[in-house]
C-alpha cells in the first residue's frame, strides 16, 4: 500500500491471516474493553496464530508494563508473551534515551509502565520537579485516579525549561462504562498551563511505528485497530495496510466521513475478519456494489439499496462516500442508509 488516496475498501481473495505475516493489534476497543475480552477476540486470535500469523499487541496505553498486559491477556484466554506487547511507554522511552545522557533523571507523570520502560533504556524515573539535574518530563496515561497534583508537578518542571515528552495524545479511552478521557486530555491540561508542546511518541507518529517494527521484525504487517486517528493514521504514515474493526471508538458514520489518512484498507465487524477474505467493492458508473448492496452518492445524501451482510453495505457506502469526497471529508447525509444496515 502507498500513501495515495484510498477511495474504496480493498478486497482480498486470501484470508488476512494468510496474506500478512504479522498482525499489529491495538488492545483497547479491539481485543478487550474495560478489562473484558471483546466477543470472538480470543478464538479468532487463536485461529490466526494456528494458521501461521504472528501476533503483536501494540497499545498507546502506557499505564501497564508489557508483562502485566501479557498476564491480563492470558487471563482472557489469549496466551501472550511479554515480548509480544509493544507500548507507547517503550516508544517514548527510546525517544528520550536518544536525546539525553545515559543515567539521566526523568520526571514521570503516569504509571508503572513508564517507569519500567525508562529503566529498560538506562534512565532514572523520579517523582519530583525539584530533582537536581532533571533531564526530561514524560507524561503517559496514569489511570482514572491520577492526582491533579501530578499535572502541577509537570508544569513546574516545564516552566523551568525541562524538555517535555508524551507517550501519546489519545483524547479518549474506552472502558467498561463507556468512553472516558485519555492521556491526550491530560496532556491538554499541562499544555494550557505551560504553553509548551511535548514531543509525542505514540500512534500515529513514526516513533511508535519504528518501535513496533524493531521489536517484531514484521515484513508484511497488518495494523488492526478501532481508531481512525491513531491506528489507521499510524498505518497510513507507516505505509502499511490496516483493518478497522467496529468494536471500539469508531462508528460507521465517522468512517464514512474519513479523510484519506484515516481510511482503512479493510473494514470488518470484529476480529473474525482476520480469518476471512475481504469482498471486492465493484464500481459501475456512479454505483458501488458489495455483496447484495449497491450504494450511490445522490443529491446531498448517500443512498443504499439491496440486502445482505450489513458490513458489505458499509463497504459499498464507504466507496461512494470516499469517491465523492476525494481528498476531503464526505459531507453527504448517510443517516437513512446506515439505518438500513443497523450500523
What are the pLDDT tens digits along the chain (343 aa)?
Answer: 345 568 999 999 999 999 999 999 999 899 998 788 999 999 999 999 999 999 999 999 999 999 999 999 999 999 999 999 999 999 999 999 999 999 999 999 999 999 999 999 999 999 999 999 999 999 999 999 999 999 999 999 999 999 999 999 989 887 778 888 999 999 999 999 999 999 999 999 999 999 999 999 999 999 999 999 999 999 999 999 999 999 998 999 999 999 999 999 999 999 999 999 999 999 988 999 999 999 999 889 999 999 999 999 999 999 999 999 999 998 899 999 999 999 8
Convert 216-254 to b/e letters by CB count within 10 Å (16 or more is b): bebeebbbbbbbbbbbbbbbbbbebbbbbbbbbbbebee
DSSP for 234-268 reads HHHHHT-EEEEETTSS--HHHHHT--GGG--SEEE
Q: Report helix, strand or coil for 7.
A: coil
pLDDT (0 to 100) of residue 1: 39
In degrees, rounded to 5, the angle at the alpha carbon of residue 78 between the alpha carbons of residues 238 and 10 is 35
Please report the beta strands in the chain, taking only residues with DSSP state E, as ranges in sequence order: 22-25, 32-33, 36-37, 54-59, 85-87, 105-109, 124-126, 134-139, 164-166, 172-175, 178-181, 199-200, 221-225, 241-245, 266-268, 282-284, 287-290, 293-297, 302-306
Cell triple for 19: 496474506
Is residue 25 within 8 Å of residue 216, measured between CB atoms? no
Is residue 28 within 8 Å of residue 58, measured between CB atoms? no
pLDDT (0 to 100) of residue 316: 98
pLDDT (0 to 100) of residue 2: 41
List Cα–Cα distances, 52 to 21, 45, 230, 277, in angstroms: 8, 11, 27, 16
Catalytic residues: 26, 28
- Neighbouring-strand partners of residue 12: 278
Provide the CB-side half-sphere exposure for 34 (13 A, CA).
11
pTM of the model: 0.90
Cell triple for 217: 521484525
Amino acid at each position: 500500500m502507498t500513501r495515495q488516496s484510498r477511495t474504496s475498501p480493498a478486497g482480498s481473495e486470501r484470508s488476512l491471516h494468510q496474506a500478512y505475516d504479522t498482525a499489529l493489534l491495538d488492545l483497547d476497543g479491539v481485543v478487550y474493553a474495560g478489562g473484558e475480552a471483546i466477543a470472538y477476540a480470543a478464538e479468532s486470535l487463536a485461529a490466526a496464530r494456528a494458521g501461521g500469523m504472528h501476533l503483536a499487541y501494540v497499545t498507546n496505553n502506557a499505564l501497564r508494563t508489557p508483562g502485566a498486559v501479557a498476564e491480563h491477556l492470558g487471563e482472557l484466554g489469549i496466551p501472550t508473551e511479554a515480548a509480544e506487547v509493544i507500548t507507547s511507554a517503550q516508544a517514548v522511552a527510546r525517544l528520550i534515551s536518544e536525546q539525553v545522557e545515559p543515567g539521566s533523571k526523568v520526571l514521570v507523570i503516569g504509571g508503572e509502565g513508564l517507569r519500567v520502560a525508562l529503566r529498560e533504556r538506562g534512565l532514572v524515573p523520579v517523582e519530583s520537579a525539584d530533582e537536581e539535574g532533571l533531564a526530561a518530563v514524560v507524561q503517559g496515561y496514569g489511570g482514572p485516579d491520577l492526582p491533579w497534583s501530578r499535572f502541577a508537578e509537570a508544569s513546574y518542571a516545564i516552566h523551568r525549561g525541562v524538555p517535555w515528552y508524551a507517550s501519546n495524545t489519545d483524547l479518549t479511552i474506552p472502558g467498561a462504562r463507556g468512553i472516558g478521557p485519555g492521556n491526550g486530555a491530560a496532556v491538554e491540561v499541562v499544555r494550557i498551563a505551560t504553553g509548551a508542546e511535548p514531543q509525542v511518541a505514540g500512534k500515529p507518529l513514526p516513533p511508535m511505528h519504528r518501535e513496533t517494527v524493531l521489536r517484531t521484525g514484521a515484513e508484511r504487517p497488518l495494523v488492526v485497530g478501532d481508531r481512525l486517528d491513531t491506528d489507521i493514521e499510524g498505518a497510513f504514515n507507516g505505509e502499511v495496510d490496516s483493518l478497522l474493526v467496529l468494536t471500539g471508538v469508531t462508528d460507521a458514520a465517522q468512517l464514512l466521513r474519513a479523510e484519506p489518512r484515516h481510511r482503512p484498507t479493510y473494514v470488518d465487524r470484529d476480529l473474525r475478519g482476520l480469518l476471512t477474505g475481504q469482498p471486492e467493492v465493484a464500481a459501475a458508473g456512479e454505483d458501488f456494489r458489495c455483496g447484495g448492496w449497491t450504494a450511490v452518492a445522490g443529491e446531498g445524501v448517500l443512498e443504499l439499496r439491496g440486502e445482505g451482510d450489513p458490513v458489505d453495505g458499509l463497504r459499498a457506502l464507504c466507496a461512494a462516500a470516499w469517491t465523492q469526497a476525494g481528498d476531503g471529508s464526505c459531507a453527504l447525509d448517510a443517516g437513512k442508509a446506515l439505518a438500513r444496515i443497523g450500523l
